């Protein structure tokens, strides 16, 4: 039982590490898998051998000693797998907290969109759960979550006067604002997050090719298309200084008007299947997060 649970736990842990880890040599991953699986199967083989010997011969005390060695060895392996889970949880939470710290420092510059990145992140996580299995298999939920949280990181390079301008931006200011996805790609490309930098870069692209940088639909990653939908939903479904939030129903109607032009039709179809109650739950969490984080302001 201990070995069976250890194998299941280890398999889940390796899958989680694969989903969340950036820039890891594939060869090192194979060595880790091979070493741990060999160790586990050695225990299982040992149990089988002991069981076979006991069934065919007269039981002797030495068999009990061997069985106890395997038993406590199995407990040790199970304990190590559990310890690795705890360590992985701790590191994962620390990474998320560091990303949120960075996002908070950026959003404190932008008076109009406090908490926006977290809201988009929560919507993308919700969105992933409603995708069909064929699409979920192509997407790392941890990495698309990270990309959604960091999608506006490039705004750190946009002047405060433009970010917080109360009126409409003029043509020159708008061109500067449109640089933030490119800035985000540049920042992330210098870190372990290089793998998701293109998703940040493309999050304002449209499937009709009329996005910020005019990227063709076939070149827009599916993760960037998801973030694009979630980003627009968040912008419409949250309060802004200049207007109140639109209802979920009205927000979906507005998004539907851009079906096949701004947004990917297939993804939008799945997005529209998310119950409004789930969107409201995410919004209430967003409001609480904003209240907790930005009270100082």
Give the Cα separation of 63 and 66 in Å (integer).
5
Among residues 215, 207, 216, which one has the least CA distance to residue 185?
215
CA distance 242 to 231: 18
* Paired strand residues for 263: 259
d(CA 255, CA 267): 12
Enter the tokens of residue 213: 């940088």
> Is 155 known to be catalytic?
yes
What is the C-alpha to C-alpha distance for residues 233 and 280, in angstroms, rounded to an integer? 12
CA distance 261 to 191: 33
Could you give the C-alpha distances from 251 to 248, 257, 280, in angstroms and in order?
Answer: 5, 10, 12
Residue 82 burial (10 A CB sphere; 0-12, 13-18, 19+): middle
Phi, psi (5° rounding) for residue 50?
-60, -45
Provide CB contacts within 8 A for 4, sequence distance 6+: none
* Helix (H) or strand (E) run with residue 290 in it: helix 276-293
- Candidates 114, 143, 155, 185; catalytic one: 155
Beta-bridged to residue 243, according to DSSP, are: 240
Q: Residues with catalytic annotation?
A: 155
């Amino acid at each position: 039982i201990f070995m069976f649970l250890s194998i299941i736990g280890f398999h889940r842990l390796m899958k989680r590490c694969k989903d969340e880890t950036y820039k890891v040599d594939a060869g090192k991953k194979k060595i880790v898998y091979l070493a741990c699986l060999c160790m586990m199967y050695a225990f299982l083989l040992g149990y089988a051998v002991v069981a076979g010997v006991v069934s065919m011969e007269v039981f002797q005390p030495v068999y009990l000693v061997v069985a106890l060695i395997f038993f406590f060895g199995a407990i040790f392996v199970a304990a190590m797998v559990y310890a690795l889970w705890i360590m992985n949880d701790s590191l994962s939470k620390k990474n998320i907290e560091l990303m949120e710290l960075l996002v908070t420092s950026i959003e404190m510059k932008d008076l109009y969109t406090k908490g926006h990145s977290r809201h988009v992140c929560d919507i993308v996580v919700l969105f992933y759960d409603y995708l069909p299995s064929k699409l979920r298999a192509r997407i790392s939920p941890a990495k698309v979550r990270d990309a959604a949280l960091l999608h506006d990181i490039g705004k750190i390079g946009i002047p405060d006067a433009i970010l917080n301008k109360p009126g409409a931006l003029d043509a020159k200011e708008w061109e500067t604002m449109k640089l933030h996805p490119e800035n985000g790609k540049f920042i992330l490309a210098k870190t372990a997050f290089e793998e998701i930098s293109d998703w940040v870069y493309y999050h304002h692209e449209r499937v009709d090719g009329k996005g910020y940088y005019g990227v063709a639909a076939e070149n827009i990653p599916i993760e960037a298309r998801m973030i694009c939908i979630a980003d627009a939903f968040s912008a419409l479904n949250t309060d802004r200084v200049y207007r109140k939030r639109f209802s979920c129903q009205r927000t979906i109607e507005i998004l539907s008007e851009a079906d096949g032009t701004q947004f990917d039709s297939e993804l939008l179809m799945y997005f529209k299947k998310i119950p409004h109650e789930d969107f409201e739950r995410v919004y209430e969490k967003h409001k609480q997060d904003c209240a907790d984080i930005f009270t100082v302001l």
